[in-house]
Chains A and B, each alone.
Chain A
Amino acid sequence: MLKANSEYDVIVIGGGHAGIEASLASARMGCSTMLLTMNIDTIGLMSCNPAIGGIGKGQLVRELDALGGEMGKNTDKSAIQYRQLNTKKGQAVHSSRAQTDRLLYKSCMLKALELEKNLLLRTGTVIKILVKGKKAIGVETSIGEKSYAKSIVLSPGTFLSGLVHIGLKSFPAGRLGENPANELSQNLKELGFNLGRFKTGTPARLDGRTIDFNKLEPQLGDEPPIPFSFWTKKKVKNFRPCFLTYTNEKTHRIIKSGLKWSPLYTGVIKGTGVRYCPSIEDKIVKFADVDRHQIFIEPEGLSTVEYYPNGVSTSLPIDIQLKMLRSIKGLERVEIFRPGYAIEHDYADPTQLKATLETRLYDNLFFAGQINGTTGYEEAAAQGLIAGINAALKAKEMQEFILTRADGYIGVMIDDLVTKGTNEPYRMFTSRVEYRLLLREDNADLRLTPRGYELGLVPYIYNRKIMQKKRKIQATLDWLKQTRIAPIPRVNSKLKKLNTACLKHSITLEELLRRPEISYYNIMEIAPLSNSPLEIYSKFDIQNSKFSTLLWNVEIEVKYKGYIERALSDIEKFKELENIKIPNNLDFRTVHGLSNEIKEKFIKLRPLNLGQAQRIPGATPSAIFALMVYLKRRKK
């Protein structure tokens, strides 16, 4: 255990999902790290729904996990139900999601932090970032304690000038029942940061003893469940179902009648809300023609009767919340444990950051999570990891670590944030990812684990496993290509059953697998098993999901071959521009042929390369061309 000291390599402020990953990454990379949080008891608290993953978000967690992050592992320690989403829409957009036990998630996470020898946990409310010139050097807490560090990561979540709204009542809070960080917000403004205001919200929590589950449709987890982490060895299980119910006309009437007390619709809330995760009142107003909205009733844990109604986030007054909920099938007698609420908080315009998440204004100061205008645990955690890694690298005076858009979802998210900024809370989507066919959940480990290993975040043994997995996949692919299957009656009768054309002459297994109707499991039933790499996958292994992800990977490689090759060549083209670096000291004012507007943008955002410059909103082709011509001439 690290001893208290007034000097550290890295200080992380905030113990949410971003702060956790940042402090663990930094500590694991050998930096003495202090995690400063307002309350150690709430480290790793899931402030909103008790679930990890989702479409686009599952990919973030897998990448995080592949790089040596904690979120995936912790999810497997506390999960109570697993589901794969989008399974019918194409393999590349499959996403994992797991319900977790809220208490267990938090306590497991705290344990992981406590086990880290380079990490000191400390309660304290930071009111000031200490700077010296253009450099951040330390922090000061509300009790006057000053600590110094080579790098500082700030991840305050919704706490920066947090303001909670329930009906027309509002009060300062970081979360319901917790204090906000107002001084820090003021301090950031004084330091020159451009702050904006975003809004997010959460639904009421329900007493499970008052829910009539017989009236609800249960929604079971996948069997067998696929663990979230590539490294989870123990078999994961589904413990509890979720339940499905719907709003109805009566619910909508009640909500409409309550709009005059809605802080959202009376103009009390000024911050921009999450377009993709709207409150129920927002849904009723914006999608007036939809006659019902889906609600998932999700268990909060194994040791509690509390339930989370996913889909009815609200900031209506408490009496209307209750009335509205009780109009819903199965919730007629429901009682509320905690009211739903909206929270407004400050965020800092993320275009003030470099791709390492270091601020442009102050060296050694990094921002991660909701402060950068994002929403979601997964988005926060992924930024936390990148900020933590770069904070540690900076402390060690080593070269920065940047993931590009071609490397993963994390790269896309950060590039979007620092290049384009965001005018609403930013959420990850698969459609933001140009190369999503290549950047999948199933190959996140193949893509990123070697890089995590280089950073010192992934143990040697894990990396070796990935190398083995790569070889196994290759062997299976080779075997599929080389093995031919004859049009014998046994095979053809099987194919008939699978609704696919019978064979007229022999074909390779690869060709067979390319048919949309054929899955890898079918191949295993049809193919001659002797001398195949399949032999090593016994029945048990197939049940064991580690192998099923491997087979999944093989299947995608075969089925999407042409598209994968095209995506790879697209990446090559992308890299051409990405590799034309823009020197740090380039004075954009001297580049002939740029309009003043775009000159200012370039000066403000300082794109690292031509590719990033091109993605800056307003960068015209002629501006990029002028810049390229300038760079080429300079080189000579």
Chain B
Amino acid sequence: MSLSGKTSGFNRSDTITAIATAPGPSGISVIRISGPTAKHIADKIFIGKTRPTRAKTQTVHFGQVINPATKEIIDEVLVTVFSAPNSYTGEDMIEISCHGGDYIASKIIQEITKIGARLAEPGEFTKRRVFVGKMDITQAEATLDLVQVKNESAYRSAIEQLQGKLSGYIFNLSEKIKLITAQIENLIEFEENQKHFQTEFKKLFLRIKEIRCDLEATIKRSEELKFLRNGIYCVIVGRPNVGKSSLFNRLSEMEKAIVTELPGTTRDSLEQTTIINGITFHLIDTAGLKIIRQPKGAQKIEALGIKQSKNWLDAADIVLAVFDNSKPFNRQDALVYDAIKTKPHILVLNKIDLKTKFNRNILKNDTVYPISAKYNKGIKQLRHAVAKHYQKQPSTNNYLYLNARHTEVLKQVVQFLQDSEAEKYFEIAAINLRTALDILGTITSAVTNEAVLDTIFSQFCVGK
């Protein structure tokens, strides 16, 4: 373990504070204070029937927040008092529910920081929770997921992880590896039954293989089902003017109430998120897809010119290829068709309201969905077809959601298990198993290097 990384900014003897609710107009805002002086700070700025330092844990008190210097009332509030260790962070904690809007909350925060608390860093409340041992890292990650949750599947797996499903899996796995390590060590340490030790070792190596294969299957399954959490990237392609954008708009409009914008994208964004049958779809309109001609020697090679489109195509889980019913299948269409052939795709024939000039036979045995984006025809059927691709939704019972960090660690574990299976020197096999255990421990343990912790916790919002 390496704890000798930087420790700046993470000082647990400080009292920290932050606004826990999202910025912007709202009914109420919640301010959190946590640390040894939390209650004393509350005493100074809060006027109510009971002083927070005298209040019982987990009790709510009505009163006013004042400017302690001028005695001027800032807001009417509810204060919830938590005494260590019965709080989120395990420290003394105060939550002030004040009227909504950023102005009042920041005014209160100003007073709190004047008295001695400092502004919390992103994720610092949860980090404290992890460090007092109230939660392991996977559970902290689940907390982060939970506040970003966008569909039922993501919600379910985050909740399960929060309740310790992943930690439980890791615990069982490491118990199994520990047992085998102990058995190998036992064979190394004792002379008795020397004659049979080769067969004993072989048995143990087979057992390692079993565990490794099982772990590999779990990782594979998790990767296959990642879309449940992350959503499905559905990319719309086609030559210009086939009606990609109108289809894009139609598909996103379908359930307008739950269409959300991804953070960081603008109103003109080519990406929209929609939920079909409980599954999140990220629709991407590749308006940038163009055909360019590259003169190269005698042959003029036509290629799909790609700005961001090629990347999108690579990242796509499923592609909607759009063709124009009113125009004959041309060279550009052929290029599009070629590019998507090997990906999971659905062919869409748009503009069926116009006279047919398109020869469907060219698209061979592929099913084609005829629509009219303009008149909203066939869109329902198309949506149904897209969703059907993912209907074989497994029950999440035996499915373990692994994020990129977990997957990376578990893949390393697989490698070390594999190394020990083939080992001729038994003490080396034991060392590989121990390394596998150490690495495995980093998934859940707070005893890991600072860099990993910082990465995880910096994704949190400030009040968590």
Contacts and interface: CB of A to CB of B under 8 A. Distances in A.
A483 to B, nearest CB: 25
A119 to B, nearest CB: 36
B426 A90 contact: yes
Given A89-B426, A431-B185, A629-B11, A621 B445 contact: yes
Contacts of B10: 629
A576 interface: yes
Interface stretch (B45-53, B186-194, B272-280): B186-194
Interface string A614-636: 10000011101110110010000
Interface in A566-597: 566-567, 573, 576-577, 580, 592-593
A406 interface: no
A89 B446 contact: no
Contacts of A90: 188, 425-428
B192 to A, nearest CB: 5
A430 B7 contact: no
Contact of A431 (B3, B13, B430, B435): B430
20 contacts: A88-B197, A89-B197, A90-B425, A90-B426, A91-B425, A93-B427, A294-B192, A436-B427, A437-B431, A566-B435, A573-B1, A576-B4, A592-B12, A593-B13, A610-B3, A614-B1, A624-B447, A625-B12, A628-B4, A629-B13
B266 to A, nearest CB: 42
Contacts of A592: 12-13, 36
Given A88-B198, A89-B426, 8 more contacts: A88-B197, A89-B427, A93-B426, A563-B428, A577-B4, A621-B3, A624-B447, A629-B10
A317 interface: no
Interface in B155-205: 185, 187-193, 197-198
A610 B4 CA distance: 10
Contacts of B191: 54-55, 85
Is chain B's binding surface mostly helix, strand, loop or mixed? loop
A88 B427 CA distance: 10
A632 B7 contact: yes
Contacts of B187: 89
A40 interface: no
Interface string B1-26: 11110010011110000000000000
Nearest to B449: A573
A626 B12 contact: yes
A437 B192 contact: no
A567 B434 CA distance: 12
B188 A55 contact: yes
A522 interface: no
Contacts of B1: 573, 577, 614, 621
Contacts of A580: 4
A391 to B, nearest CB: 32
B7 A621 contact: no
Contacts of A566: 435
A55 B194 CA distance: 13
Interface residues of B, number: 34
Contact of B189 (A55, A294, A610, A629): A55
Contacts of B431: 437, 563, 567
B7 A56 contact: no
A401 interface: no
B133 interface: yes
Contacts of A91: 425
Given A91-B425, A621-B447, A55 B4 contact: no
B139 to A, nearest CB: 15
Counting chain A residues whose Cβ lies within 8 A of the other chain, the interface size class is 35 or more
A299 B13 CA distance: 66
A269 B132 CA distance: 43
A86 interface: yes
B148 to A, nearest CB: 27
Contacts of B4: 576-577, 580, 628
Nearest to B430: A431
Interface in B123-142: 131-133
Interface in A344-387: none
Contacts of B12: 592-593, 625-626, 629
B71 interface: no
B75 to A, nearest CB: 32
A620 B133 contact: yes
B392 interface: no
Nearest to A591: B13
Contacts of A489: none
B399 to A, nearest CB: 30
Interface in B289-337: none
B424 interface: yes
B3 A624 contact: yes
A576 B449 CA distance: 13
Contacts, number: 98
A622 B428 contact: no
B93 to A, nearest CB: 15
Interface string A385-421: 0000000000000000000000000000000000000
A159 B430 CA distance: 39
Given A431-B189, A576-B4, A622 B427 contact: no
A628 B3 contact: yes
Nearest to B85: A595
Nearest to A624: B3
A622 B188 contact: no
Contacts of A276: 189-190
Contacts of B192: 293-294
Contact of B427 (A56, A437, A593, A628): A437
Nearest to B6: A632
Interface string B369-389: 000000000000000000000
A624 B1 CA distance: 11
Interface centre among A90, A430, A624 (most CB of B within 10 A): A90
A516 interface: yes
A55 B431 CA distance: 18
A430 B185 CA distance: 8
A537 interface: no
Interface centre among B7, B185, B427 (most CB of A within 10 A): B427
Interface in A539-569: 559-560, 563, 566-567
Interface in B62-103: none
Given A577-B3, A622-B446, A56 B424 contact: no
A625 B3 contact: yes
Interface string B413-438: 00000000000111110110001000
B12 to A, nearest CB: 5
B444 to A, nearest CB: 11
Nearest to B36: A592
A90 B190 CA distance: 14
Contacts of A473: none
A328 B286 CA distance: 87
A430 B189 contact: yes
B443 to A, nearest CB: 14
Contacts of B426: 89-90, 93
B131 A622 contact: yes
B451 to A, nearest CB: 14
A628 B430 contact: no
Contacts of A437: 427-428, 431
A507 interface: no
A625 B10 CA distance: 10
Contacts of B131: 621-622, 625
A602 interface: no
B202 to A, nearest CB: 13
B368 to A, nearest CB: 56
Contacts of B430: 431
B86 to A, nearest CB: 15
